């Protein structure tokens, strides 16, 4: 059976990212036909690499069990007449397949070394969980933070109130 995972992952790569890294990410995103060898990272195995683990989740329209995805070079800013570009990666998916969750964590561990600075990069949450696990990168490493504290109101700091499930009407109440 299993449950759904909602995953959001977005980050900018450093301006000086090697072209080989760009081609490997493009391959994983299904935008290139081949990229010779898997990334040099202990968590990347040949199967994960050859299956194009990320690409298989980016072809459906955005709905439950589908993904929204992009990897592109964009103009970030212009300073003193010089344009500065960066590659940006964005993936949002809702999948019942646990491998996408595992593959994305392997991918993030590898990609963290090329991310631009310290940044929040996303989250994942299981279907029946009310709090997400946050994802960060800093100094070339990926980090997770399991959020256990309930949220508080932005306006007045009041505590989160857990919504009660709606009451279902029972058919026998209408017959008596």
- The more confident residue out of 78 and 35 is 78
Point out the least confidently predicted range of 18-32, 67-81, 159-173.
159-173
> In sequence order, which ranges of the chain are alpha helices (DSSP H)?
19-28, 46-50, 98-111
Look at residue 154 in the predicted model and tell me its pLDDT: 80
CA 125, 126, 129, 130 dihedral sign is: positive
Tokens of 69: 């995805």
The answer to whether 5 and 109 are in contact (CB under 8 A) is no
State percent of the chain over pLDDT 90: 19
The answer to whether 72 and 87 are in contact (CB under 8 A) is yes
Question: Is pTM, for the whole model, over 0.75?
Answer: no
Point out the least confidently predicted range of 77-86, 104-113, 158-167.
158-167
Beta strands in the chain (DSSP E): 5-12, 67-79, 82-95, 119-126, 133-138, 141-146
Q: pLDDT band at residue 42, thresholds of 50, 70 and 90? A: low
- The more confident residue out of 30 and 16 is 16
CA–chain centroid gap for 48, Å, is 17
> In sequence order, which ranges of 10-167 are alpha helices (DSSP H)?
19-28, 46-50, 98-111
């Amino acid at each position: 059976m299993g449950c759904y995972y909602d995953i959001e992952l977005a980050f900018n790569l450093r301006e000086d990212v090697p072209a080989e890294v760009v081609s490997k990410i493009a391959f994983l995103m299904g935008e290139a036909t081949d990229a010779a060898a898997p990334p040099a990272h202990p968590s990347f195995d040949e199967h994960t690499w050859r299956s194009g683990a990320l690409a298989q989740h980016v072809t459906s329209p955005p709905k439950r069990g589908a993904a929204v995805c992009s990897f592109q070079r964009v103009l970030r800013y212009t300073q003193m007449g010089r344009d500065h570009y960066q590659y940006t990666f964005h993936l949002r998916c809702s999948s019942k397949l646990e491998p996408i969750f595992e593959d994305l964590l392997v991918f993030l561990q590898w990609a963290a070394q090329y991310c631009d600075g310290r940044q929040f990069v996303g989250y994942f949450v299981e279907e029946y969980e009310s709090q997400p696990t946050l994802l960060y990168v800093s100094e070339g490493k990926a980090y997770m933070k399991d959020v256990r504290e309930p949220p508080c109101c932005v306006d007045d700091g009041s505590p989160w109130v857990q919504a009660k499930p709606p009451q279902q009407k029972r058919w026998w109440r209408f017959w008596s």
